[in-house]
Amino acid sequence: MGDSAAAGGYKVVVDFDLCESNAICMDIAPEVFEVRDDDFLYILDETPGPDQRAKVDDSVSRCPKQAIKVEELDASSDKE
Amino acid sequence: MSAPASIAIVGASLAGLRAAETLRRSGFDGSLTLIGDEPHAPYDRPPLSKQFLSGEWDHTRLALIAPEKLAELHLDLRLGTRATGLDVGERAVTTSPTTIEASSAGDERVVADGILIATGARARTLPYAERPGLHVLRSRDDAELLHQALASGPRHVVVVGAGFIGAEVAATARQMGATVSMIELAEAPMIRGLGVDLGLFCAEVHRERDVDVRLGVGVDQILGDAAVTGVVLTDGSEITADVVVVGVGAVPNTEWLEGSGLALDNGVVCDDTCLAAPGIVAAGDVARWHNRLFDEVMRVEHWDNAVEQGMYAARRLLAQEAPEPFTPVPWFWSDQFDHKIQLAGRRADGDQTLTVTGSREDRKFASIFGRDGRIMAVFGFNRPRHVMKFRRLIAAGGSWDQARELADEMG
């Protein structure tokens, strides 16, 4: 399932209209998400490595506003 | 025990769904049954007292999972189906249909190697006869009825109980143009989570939006036989109302487990790894377990706990040996008017406290709470970043001195 697709890489997408900076994602994956002094969420790494995938998936599940999505990147499109 | 080949999840709301997703993500490819007593696919409850209640969102916005993602989980999904009993030894769940659509199935029996109990809680009710105008708010159907009542004209609303649901309903109804009274037996709103001082601050916030907040009084009777016309309070005062919303807490759904042999005590009693019996785990509002981080047996009704415990319990079922205990820092948020209220950890009366940023006058501040040299809780009013930073420190068992240092660092 998700794991096999992840071989082609993935992209972290946040719907900033939904995001309310609850900062749960920053708690789970501080390497990827950061809520700064201005109380806005910043994505530090839009295409994190496979080592971050479990944390990013947890962030998707635990976002209270369901504002985070993961898009699977097609391995072939990377080469273009 | 060996890895399960089949798993049944009882309860198709947040904890149950996130558990199902976690099982598949962890590589579990056996048969996976998800049983839910409501007819709707898994949906999110927090908007029911806010955007869905106001009518800003329709029900499609509530979906916890997109239909195509749900299909990818390859579930034996049994909606409109209520669990009526559990045979712990056989790990068999008996079910009964709750809707006409599901009734052709009749009573059934689902046997699985692993059972995950996530039947949640329901709204506690008061002993008043049902009648038009008298509402509770727990399910999507409840919210639709209440929305129709509020949207059909300027209303006089009385909210009985100023817990988080009650306070959110009061705020939303006020924003929809209703006159609103909020009645609370305790001396402050949201007192169980926030304590008197912060609770009274929240009362002030409601009052400045013209919510009539009445503390230390209960409801003596609800007037109107054919339909609600008002309430009489225990201090003798009377309030005219055409909508009364009762928000006096929730009761865990454990009746179906009575006589099963599982220990029940205001929830399903689990060990510190959410295990209720061999091959049987529980998660979410229904689960009571020993949280070793706070050395407290707790049952947590927060959104985030349903997700985190659902995920943990799923992994627990797949684990060959007992994993690290489940030791989360309970966290909740509540949106009232345009304010975001958050608390992480366990606050208690008598804790030492310190405001780490902002001020109440600015309606933007965060405070921390400590006991025995440790930081135990953080409260944020429109300050989510501080809440999460301090939550991390609480999770790490941080000291009060470390909390003061973090406060200085963050400014």
Residues 35-54 of A with CB under 8 A from B: 35-37, 39
- Angle at Cα B82 formed by Cα B139 and Cα B52, nearest 5°? 15
Q: Which residues of B touch A21 (CB under 8 A)?
A: 384-385
Q: Which CATH superfamily is domain B338-410 in?
A: FAD/NAD-linked reductase, C-terminal dimerisation domain (3.30.390.30)
Query: Which residues on B lie below 8 Å from A62 (Cβ)?
Result: 304, 307-308
Token pair recorded at residue B73? 């989980």
Instruction: Give B198: exposed, middle or buried? Use CB within 10 Å, 0-12, 13-18, 19+.
Output: buried
User: pLDDT tens-digit profile of B137-151?
Assistant: 999 999 999 999 999
Asked if the structure places residue A35 within a domain, the reply is yes
Cβ–Cβ < 8 Å for B16, B317: no
- Residues whose CB falls within 8 Å of the CB of residue B388, separated by 6 or more in sequence, listed in order: A22, A23, A24, A26, A27, A35, B344
CA separation for the pair A22, A32 (Å, rounded): 15
pLDDT-derived band at A78 (thresholds 50, 70, 90) equals very low
Q: Report the alpha-carbon distance of residue B259 to residue B34 in Å, rounded.
A: 23
Enumerate the residues of chain A whose CB falls inside 8 A of the CB of residue B25.
Answer: 1-3, 57
Q: Give bridge partners of residue B359 from the DSSP assignment.
A: B364
Residue A73 has pLDDT above 80, yes or no: yes
Are the CB atoms for B376 and B295 separated by under 8 Å? no
Give residue A49's domain range.
2-73
Question: What was the pLDDT predicted at B54?
Answer: 97
Report the pLDDT averaged over residues B177-196: 96
Q: Is the CB of residue A31 less than 8 Å away from at least one CB of chain B?
A: no
pLDDT tens figures, B15-57: 999 999 999 999 999 999 999 999 999 999 999 999 999 999 9
Q: Give me A7's structure tokens.
A: 């071989």
Query: How many structural domains are present in chain A?
Result: 1
For the question of whether the overall pTM of this predicted structure is more than 0.90, the answer is yes
- pLDDT band, very low/low/confident/very high, at B1 (cuts 50, 70, 90): low
Query: How confident is the model over A5-33, as pLDDT tens digits?
Result: 445 699 999 999 999 888 899 989 999 99
Kind and range of the H or E run holding A71: strand A68-72
Closest residue in A to B357 (Cα) is: A37
Put simply, whether A56 touches B (Cβ < 8 Å) is no
The answer to whether B230 and B238 are in contact (CB under 8 A) is yes
Instruction: Please give the residue of chain B at the shortest CA–CA distance from A3.
Output: B25
B 366-405 residues with CB < 8 A to A: 383-385, 387-388, 391-392
pLDDT at residue A79, as a whole number:
39
Cβ atoms of A8 and A44 closer than 8 Å: no
The residue-averaged pLDDT of B394-398 equals 97
* HSE, side-chain direction, 13 A CA sphere, residue B326: 31
- The closest alpha carbon to B118, from B253, B319, B237, B213, belongs to B253
Could you give the residue range(s) of every CATH 3.50.50.60 domain in chain B?
Answer: 6-122+251-318, 125-248
Tokens of B37: 């007593």
CA B391 to chain centre: 19
Cα–Cα distance, A76 to A50 (Å, whole number): 17
Question: What's the ipTM?
Answer: 0.81
pLDDT cut 90: percent of chain A above it: 61
Domain contains A78: no
Nearest Cα of chain A lies from the Cα of B100 at a distance, in angstroms, of 32
Does the residue A17 lie in any domain?
yes
**A-chain residues near B308 (CB < 8 A):** 62
Q: For residue B24, which of A23, A51, A4 has the smallest C-alpha distance?
A: A4
pLDDT at B154: 80
C-alpha span between B376 and B211 (Å, rounded): 32
**Mean pLDDT on B222-240:** 96
Q: What is the DSSP string of B125-166?
A: --S----TTEE--SSHHHHHHHHHHHHTS--EEEEE--SHHH
Average pLDDT over residues A20-47: 91
pLDDT for res A76: 54
Residue A44: give its domain's CATH number.
3.30.70.20
pLDDT > 80? residue B264 = yes
User: Cα(B383)–Cα(B361) distance, rounded to whole angstroms?
Assistant: 14
- pLDDT tens for residues B72-116? 999 999 999 999 999 999 999 999 999 887 777 789 999 999 999
Mean pLDDT of chain B: 96
- Min Cα–Cα distance to chain A from B70, Å: 13
Would you call A72 an interface residue with chain B, using a CB distance cutoff of 8 Å? no
Write out the CATH class of domain B6-122+251-318.
alpha beta
Q: Tokens 């198709």 — which residue?
A: B12
pLDDT at B320 > cutoff 90: no
Q: What pLDDT, on a 0 to 100 scale, did the predictor assign at position B169?
A: 98
What was the pLDDT predicted at B270? 98
Q: Is residue A9, in this structure, part of any structural domain at all?
A: yes
Q: Are B353 and B369 in contact (CB under 8 A)?
A: yes
> Among residues of chain B, what percentage have pLDDT more than 90?
94
On the question of pLDDT at B191 being above 60, the answer is yes
The runs of H, that is alpha helices, within B265-398 are 303-318, 384-395
Residue A55 lies in a domain: yes
- Cβ separation A23–B333 shorter than 8 A: no
How much is the pLDDT for A7?
56
B173 has a pLDDT exceeding 50: yes
Q: Is B204 exposed, middle or buried (0-12, 13-18, 19+ CB in 10 A)?
A: exposed
Q: Say whether A21 and B385 touch across the interface (CB within 8 A).
A: yes
Q: Which residue has the higher pLDDT, B332 or B411?
A: B332
The answer to whether the Cβ–Cβ distance between B388 and A35 falls below 8 Å is yes
Give the per-residue pLDDT at A2: 42
Bridge partner list, B201: none
Distance CA(B57)–CA(B67), nearest Å, equals 18
* Pairwise CA distance, residues B79 & B100, whole Å: 11
pLDDT tens digits, one per residue of B329-379: 999 999 999 999 999 999 999 999 999 999 999 999 999 999 999 999 999
SS3 of A39, please? coil
Is A80 a domain residue? no
With CB atoms and an 8 Å threshold, state whether A22 touches B18.
no
| pLDDT at site B105 | 76
Interchain CB distance below 8 Å, A20 and B384: yes
Banded model confidence at residue A80, pLDDT cuts 50, 70, 90 = very low
- Chain A hits for B21, Cβ within 8 Å: 61
Q: Which of B385, B386, B410 to mutate to test the interface with A (most CBs of A within 10 A)?
A: B385
CA-nearest residue to A66 within chain B is: B64
CA distance A61 to chain B (A): 7
- Residue B25 has its nearest CB partner, among A1, A22, A36, at A1
- Segment B384-399 shows an average pLDDT of 94
Radius of gyration of chain B from its Cα atoms, rounded to whole angstroms: 22
Size of interface A-B (CB pairs under 8 A): 52
Q: What is the pLDDT of residue B390?
A: 96
Q: Which CATH number is B125-248 given?
A: 3.50.50.60
- Please enumerate in sequence order all residues whose Cβ is within 8 A of that of B99, keeping only pairs 6 or more positions apart, or say none: B39, B79, B80
**Does residue B246 surpass a pLDDT of 60?**
yes
Element (H, E) at B337: none
Asked if B60 has any chain A CB less than 8 Å from its own CB, the reply is no
**Is the pLDDT confidence value at B157 over 90?**
yes
